[in-house]
Amino acid sequence: MSSPDKPTVVVATGNQGKLKEFRLALEQVGFAVAGLEALSESIEVEETGTTFAANARLKAEAYSRLTDHVVVADDSGLEVDALGGEPGVKSARYGGPGLDDQGRLRLVVSKLEGVEDPDRTGRFRCALAVARAGETVAEFDGVIEGRILREPRGENGFGYDPVFFHEPSGCTTAELSPEAKQQVSHRGEVIRKFVEAVRNGSLKL
């Protein structure tokens, strides 16, 4: 059960990397964090939206019908300018079901073969939806700008992090510590916005 001083937030994701990032950020500021195991039943929510925000709402609303706690769900991904914004909302499914994180990363890099460094720009976007009892009650978004490298660097993070170079940090987001990544990442930004909304009373849990 949640309490006024330590509310429980269910993070609706099967991605353990995402769950770890949410848990790290939210537990440090007084939230109890649960994953999909907190739901009354296990379901799959198809991401049929054409935007990150639409997919986040789909997941948050569906999962929030299966718990009394508030549910947060994000949809996020990589947009590469030279690829016309791909992989975009298909970031986690890019190239089809036969590819894992490493395969998708290599696919993006291969498609950028011949593209000069100044033109390898892109960004991570994140949309967060907060829902209760099947209704979205708040939405937040975040973005981090960067450049796509030719070779992966770093062991931290997940997904496309090893080839996403963040100029202000001077390294890839996979080379940042989890704490440092929270301070600059797209997901860190939406989490901070969520926490601030709860603290200033504009979002009631």
Residues 153-201 pLDDT 10s:
999 989 999 999 999 999 999 999 999 999 999 999 999 999 999 889 8
Angle formed by the axes of helices 186-199 and 16-27, nearest 10°: 40
Q: CA-CA distance, 135 to 160, in Å (whole number)?
A: 31
Exactly one of 68, 74, 75, 101 is catalytic; name it.
75
Locate all alpha helices (DSSP H) within 28-85, ordered by sequence.
Answer: 52-64
Give strand ranges (E) for the chain.
8-11, 32-34, 70-80, 121-132, 135-148, 164-166, 171-172
Adjacency order of strands within the sheet including 121-132: 32-34, 8-11, 70-80, 121-132, 135-148, 164-166, 171-172
75 is catalytic: yes
Q: CA-CA distance, 100 to 103, in Å (whole number)?
A: 5
Q: Which two structure tokens, joined as six digits, stand for 51? A: 């935007």
User: Hey, what CATH class is 8-199 in?
Assistant: alpha beta
pLDDT in tens, the chain (205 residues): 445 568 899 999 988 888 988 998 899 888 999 999 999 898 989 999 999 999 999 999 999 999 999 999 999 999 999 999 999 999 999 999 999 999 999 999 999 999 999 999 999 999 999 999 999 999 999 999 999 999 999 999 899 999 999 999 999 999 999 999 999 999 999 999 999 998 898 988 7
pTM of this prediction exceeds 0.75: yes
Q: 61 with 35: CB under 8 angstroms?
A: no
